[in-house]
């Protein structure tokens, strides 16, 4: 760029800033514009990890895995919204454009998907997985035509579109996203060539194949077989939360990961207690089948790249995969704890919230170890409970449809507390104090319900808040607007809520799930006021990453 050109751009920037003053970007008093405020909801974190223990081949693999991951960003944009470039280039305010990037679209994911770009309407419940004008009734009618048609339209790995006659048709992801899948395949195969770990090599090859034929089962099985790898990548269409119409469609995402081998050993120990904990669940035997995936494993990782679904809005800090129930029955599942991302959220969000909302004498019990355990046991707890309804008619997920995700999250939270309580009582956690877990859990609820009711985690946390409040598991001090856990009542309420959720799941009781999970957001006036205080305190709601090879390896 020439000097004079740069001068012209600088001048333009000054002019734009001046115009911005009048249009409210930055007022004379120095107040932030609404968009700048929105952006400040996300605290920027550099996503780094220690690469020094990696072998030369592993170091060469990292940029290839990151390039493959980036393709998931492109696909997720299409699934969540549509044409990314058209949207971004139509936005002139740089803060708004950045906010759209963080949200992968013009709807604020931390504010119930409220549109923030002028002229944009509400987000379709089915995102861009279905035609925007399609109704549930039209979809069900099309599905009733034949079983084959229904299975294609309802498929995890198809987009629903209209053909030339306006009839609903299913387009496989491998076809719809052929260009992006093609690049990802090439990068995964190049990484496979470099892989020293045979399990990882096989997985990368099979995952590349899956992107071409929409059959992810062989690669899911290979992923579970792989135990000795240091590098890992979770990539492809995975979670169904983005499809709020039916929870049928998997959204694309990727995580590039480096395993923490020390932590992994410590974590493996807890999974040995799963059968015992399953037997001890506070429900009749019919609701706690013995055939749980006992060989599932649990690992801690530093994540070095997020893309797509998991990078949109609130960042995922714990994963439980694969979702395929047949694969789970065969080989269990793997739970991944994303340590560096977790610590970032704890420091930047949870501690400041606790300082406002937790009773002063209980604040000392807000600890990262407890936070880490609560999330860890949440993930383990997904494996407890019941997968099929007790009438034998099918899966819990099918019976509870759009409610299944939020209820499963609530189950995992409360059974996580159940586990930590039981393990502590039997001396398995050493000198840990379960009271730290309860207080940190309560602070965590406040963090989660700030997401609003659009998110499965937000809805499930609000339901838990209401339940525990009714049971007196915590109380609110009027004078200070802070909350204090009643430890004995909390313990009893954990068992009561576990029983309630497991019963709804085992019965496949859709109406009871709807009754339990609030749709309308926060209605409790005191809580609304407290959340407003948190909002006014400029505490970030979530984090956003600076990431990629330039951040990981700044010297190169
Ligand atoms: Zn979960």
Residues 157 and 173: beta-carbon distance below 8 Å: yes
55 Cα to the center of ligand 1, angstroms = 33
pLDDT over 90 (residue 42): yes
399 Cα to the center of ligand 1, angstroms = 19
More confident residue, 538 or 294: 538
SS3 200: helix
11 Cα to the center of ligand 1, angstroms = 50
| Average pLDDT for the chain | 90
CB atoms within 10 A of CB 472: 13
- Alpha-carbon distance of 479 to 476, in angstroms, equals 9
CB atoms within 10 A of CB 36: 18
Q: Which of 278, 337, 341, 279 is nearest to 305 (CA)?
A: 341
pLDDT value, residue 458: 82
333 Cα to the center of ligand 1, angstroms = 13
223 Cα to the center of ligand 1, angstroms = 20
Average of pLDDT values for 218-241?
Answer: 96
541 Cα to the center of ligand 1, angstroms = 19
163 Cα to the center of ligand 1, angstroms = 37
- Alpha-carbon distance of 250 to 123, in angstroms, equals 18
pLDDT value, residue 453: 58
pLDDT over 70 (residue 11): no
pLDDT over 90 (residue 487): yes
Average of pLDDT values for 478-503?
Answer: 97
Q: pLDDT tens digits, residue range 76-135?
A: 999 999 999 999 999 999 999 999 999 999 999 989 999 999 999 999 999 999 999 999
409 Cα to the center of ligand 1, angstroms = 5
155 Cα to the center of ligand 1, angstroms = 22
pLDDT value, residue 426: 85
Confidence of residue 521 (pLDDT cuts 50, 70, 90): confident
Query: Per residue in 510-544, is it b (16+ CB within 10 Å) or e — as a string?
Result: bebbeebbbeeebeeeebeebbeebeeeebbbbbb
379 Cα to the center of ligand 1, angstroms = 6
Q: pLDDT tens digits, residue range 429-463?
A: 777 789 999 999 999 999 888 756 567 778 899 99
Average of pLDDT values for 527-543?
Answer: 89
Residues 261 and 271: beta-carbon distance below 8 Å: no
What secondary structure, in 3-state letters, does 228-268 show?
CCCEEEEEEEEECCCCCCCCCCCEEEEEEEEEEHHHHHHHH
- Alpha-carbon distance of 437 to 373, in angstroms, equals 8
Listed in sequence order, the residues at least 6 apart from 508 whose beta carbon sits closer than 8 Å to its beta carbon are: 389, 391, 393, 394, 396, 399, 400
- Alpha-carbon distance of 429 to 66, in angstroms, equals 37
40 Cα to the center of ligand 1, angstroms = 26
371 Cα to the center of ligand 1, angstroms = 14
Residue 210 token pair:
């899956």
411 Cα to the center of ligand 1, angstroms = 9
What 8-state DSSP symbol labels residue 315?
P
145 Cα to the center of ligand 1, angstroms = 35
């Amino acid at each position: 760029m020439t000097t004079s050109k740069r001068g012209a751009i600088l001048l333009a920037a000054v002019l734009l800033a001046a115009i911005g003053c009048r249009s409210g970007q930055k007022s004379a008093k120095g107040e932030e514009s609404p968009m700048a405020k929105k952006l400040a909801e996300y605290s920027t974190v550099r996503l780094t990890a220690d690469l020094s223990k990696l072998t030369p081949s592993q170091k060469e693999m990292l940029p290839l895995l990151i390039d493959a991951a980036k393709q998931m960003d492109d696909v997720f944009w299409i699934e969540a919204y549509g044409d990314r470039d058209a949207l971004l280039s139509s936005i002139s305010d740089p803060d708004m454009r950045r906010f759209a990037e963080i949200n992968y679209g013009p709807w604020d994911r931390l504010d119930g998907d409220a549109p923030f770009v002028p002229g944009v309407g509400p987000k379709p419940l089915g995102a861009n997985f279905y035609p925007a004008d399609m109704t549930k009734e039209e979809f069900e009618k099309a599905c009733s035509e034949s079983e084959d048609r229904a299975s294609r339209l309802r498929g995890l790995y198809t987009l629903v579109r209209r053909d030339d006659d306006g009839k609903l048709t299913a387009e496989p992801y491998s076809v719809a996203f052929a260009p992006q899948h093609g690049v990802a395949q090439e990068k995964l195969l190049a990484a496979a060539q470099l892989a020293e770990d045979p399990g990882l090599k096989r997985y990368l090859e099979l995952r590349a194949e899956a992107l071409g034929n929409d059959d992810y089962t062989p690669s899911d099985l290979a992923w579970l077989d792989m135990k000795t790898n240091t590098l890992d990548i979770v990539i492809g269409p995975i979670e169904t939360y983005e499809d709020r119409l039916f929870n049928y469609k998997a959204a694309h995402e990727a995580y590039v990961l480096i395993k923490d081998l020390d932590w992994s050993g410590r974590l493996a120990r807890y999974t040995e207690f799963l059968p015992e904990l399953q037997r001890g669940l506070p429900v009749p035997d019919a609701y706690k089948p013995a055939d749980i995936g006992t060989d599932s494993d649990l690992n801690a990782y530093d994540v070095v790249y997020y893309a797509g679904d998991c990078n949109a809005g609130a960042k995922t800090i714990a994963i439980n995969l694969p979702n395929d129930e047949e694969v789970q029955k065969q080989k269990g599942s793997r739970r991944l704890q994303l340590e560096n991302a977790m610590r970032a959220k704890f420091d930047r969000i949870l501690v400041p919230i606790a300082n406002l909302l937790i009773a002063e004498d209980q604040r000392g019990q807000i600890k990262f170890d407890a936070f880490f355990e609560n999330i860890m046991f949440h993930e383990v707890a997904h494996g407890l409970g019941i997968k099929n309804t007790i009438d034998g008619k099918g899966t819990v997920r099918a019976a509870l449809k759009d409610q299944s995700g939020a209820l499963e999250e609530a189950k995992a939270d409360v059974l996580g507390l159940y586990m930590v309580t039981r393990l502590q009582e039997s001396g398995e956690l050493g000198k840990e104090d379960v009271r730290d877990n309860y207080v940190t859990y309560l602070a965590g609820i406040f963090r989660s319900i700030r997401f609003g009711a659009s998110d499965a985690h937000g809805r499930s946390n609000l339901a838990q808040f209401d339940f525990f409040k009714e049971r007196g598991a915590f109380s609110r001090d009027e004078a200070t607007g802070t909350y204090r856990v009643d430890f004995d009542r909390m313990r009893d309420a954990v068992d009561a809520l576990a029983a309630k959720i497991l019963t709804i799941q085992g019965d496949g009781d859709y109406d009871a799930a709807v009754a339990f999970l609030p749709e309308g957001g926060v209605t409790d006036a005191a809580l609304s006021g407290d959340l407003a205080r948190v909002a006014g305190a400029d505490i970030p709601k979530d984090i956003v990453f600076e990431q990629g090879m330039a951040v990981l390896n700044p010297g190169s």
